[in-house]
């Protein structure tokens, strides 16, 4: 077969789609007698060139810091740097295991995170089902627009508002509770209350936004299913349990599996802006602990060790979540 150089040029875009790399290499060698790699490079260099800026940033700010985790095995001294600081083996991890509060910190993290995941599934699903029962479009739309709002405000702002309304002396919330004879509660200063306040305020901020996904899933349920159910004598409640919920199941499973990766993310910004030393016992999570150790107390090696432990466990959870999402909900990130 004789193929002219000019033919190949013209059909190049086609061949990119249809021939795998090795075949193209071979074809190029056969056709042009030219080194295949050089030819591919000649054609593809603009693409690789376009990737350079992004790749550079990813390497610099994602991969170089990964090399920095060797600090976890060092007694890091800022003046000596990464290469001058002495290695101390697993001492930082030993310190971590011996640290009196470490069990509590891991427990707090998972306790708050798991409650948030559960509430973050339950509340939006319930609201979506209730909204779906309404027939008037404008009520649905207005409701949604109004309750999305807190999602767009930062935790700095919302924390300011929360501190104010939850204050035991002048806060609105305690005053309302007072009408029912409840004595003022120091929600943000009490270890009994703090984790639940975190969960409740997180739901407050996110539930509206969370309903979007479920509402979309609801619109894709075939209306004839409802008609058939009604024909069989199912009322509103039965329809909800036998038509609506099964119809939402795929998206519920997907959201649940994707959330498994968040088991160690209890919400740094929220807790950091709302906690105080008296509630460390119930509020301190891994991220806030790493922050205090690393940024405030400058124990870089130790903080990195704690962070590394979190990264590894998170890595396992996130991987598990994607595997499950793929297996159970056929979800792939790409």
Partner 1 sequence: MKNGPADRITLLAINLMLLALVIVTLYPILHVIFASFSSPAEIVSHRGLLWKPLGFSLEAYKLVFADPRIYIGYRNTLFIVVVGVALNLLMTALGAYVLSRKNVMWNKFFMIMVTFTMFFSGGLVPLYLVVKGVGLTNTLWSTILPFAISTFNLIVMRTSFQSIPDSLEESAKIDGANHLVILFRIVIPLSLPVLAVMGLYYAVEKWNGWFYASIFIQQQELFPLQIYLREILILSSTDSLSSGAAVGEQFQIGATIKYATIMVATVPILCVYPFIQRFFVKGVMIGALKG
- Binding footprint of partner 1, residue count (CB under 8 A): 100
Among 3, 118, 156, 245, binds partner 1 (CB under 8 A): 156
| Shortest separation between residue 145's beta carbon and partner 1, angstroms | 6
From 2, 33, 46, 137, residue interacting with partner 1 (rule: CB under 8 A): 46
231 binds partner 1 (CB under 8 A): no
143 is an interface residue for partner 1 by CB under 8 A: yes
Among 106, 193, 242, 291, binds partner 1 (CB under 8 A): 291
Q: How far is CA 3 from its chain centroid? A: 53
| Backbone φ, ψ for residue 101 (5° rounding) | -95, 0
Q: Is 150 in the site for partner 1 (CB under 8 A)?
A: yes
Q: Does 180 bind partner 1 (CB under 8 A)?
A: no
- Residue 161 makes contact with partner 1 by CB under 8 A: yes
CA distance 246 to 252: 10
Q: Which of 315, 323, 327, 328 binds partner 1 (CB under 8 A)?
A: 315
Residue 232 contacts partner 1 per CB under 8 A = no
- The answer to the question of residue 164 lying near partner 1 (CB under 8 A) is yes
Residue 273 is a binding residue for partner 1 (CB under 8 A): yes
Q: Tokens in use for 236? A: 């509103």
- Calpha distance 152→258 (Å, rounded): 22
Q: Is 175 in the site for partner 1 (CB under 8 A)?
A: yes
Residue 71 sits in the site that holds partner 1 (CB under 8 A): yes
Identify the residue among 66, 77, 118, 328 touching partner 1 (CB under 8 A). Answer: 66
21 touches partner 1 by CB under 8 A:
yes
Verify binding: residue 58, partner 1, rule CB under 8 A.
Answer: yes
Length of the chain: 334
């Amino acid at each position: 077969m004789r193929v002219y150089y000019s033919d190949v040029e013209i059909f190049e875009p086609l061949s990119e789609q249809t021939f795998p790399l090795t075949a193209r290499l071979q074809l190029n060698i056969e056709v042009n007698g030219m080194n295949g790699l050089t030819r591919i490079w000649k054609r593809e260099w603009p693409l690789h060139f376009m990737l350079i800026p992004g790749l550079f940033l990813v390497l610099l700010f994602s991969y170089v810091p990964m090399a920095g985790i060797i600090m976890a095995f060092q007694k890091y001294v800022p003046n000596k740097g990464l290469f001058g600081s002495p290695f101390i083996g697993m001492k930082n991890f030993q310190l971590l295991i011996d640290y009196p509060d470490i069990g509590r910190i891991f427990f707090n993290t998972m306790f708050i995170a798991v409650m948030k995941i559960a509430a973050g599934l339950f509340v939006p699903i319930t609201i979506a089902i209730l909204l779906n029962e309404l027939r008037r479009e404008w009520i649905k739309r207005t409701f949604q627009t109004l309750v999305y709002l807190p999602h767009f405000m930062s935790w700095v702002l919302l924390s300011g508002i929360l501190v104010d309304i939850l204050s035991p002396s002048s806060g609105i919330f305690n005053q309302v509770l007072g009408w029912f004879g409840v004595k003022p509660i120091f929600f943000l200063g009490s270890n009994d209350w703090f984790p639940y306040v975190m969960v409740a305020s997180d739901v407050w901020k996110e539930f509206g936004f969370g309903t979007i996904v479920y509402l979309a899933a609801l619109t894709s349920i075939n209306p004839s299913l409802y008609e058939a159910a009604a024909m069989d004598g199912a009322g509103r409640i039965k329809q909800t349990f036998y038509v609506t919920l099964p119809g939402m199941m795929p998206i519920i499973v997907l959201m649940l599996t994707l959330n498994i990766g968040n088991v160690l993310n209890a919400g740094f910004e929220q807790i950091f802006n709302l906690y105080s030393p008296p509630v460390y016992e119930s509020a301190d999570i891994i991220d806030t602990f790493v922050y205090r150790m690393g940024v405030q107390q400058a124990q870089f090696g130790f903080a990195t060790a704690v962070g590394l432990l979190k990264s590894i466990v998170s890595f396992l959870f996130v991987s598990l979540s994607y595997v499950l999402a793929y297996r159970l909900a056929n979800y792939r990130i790409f």
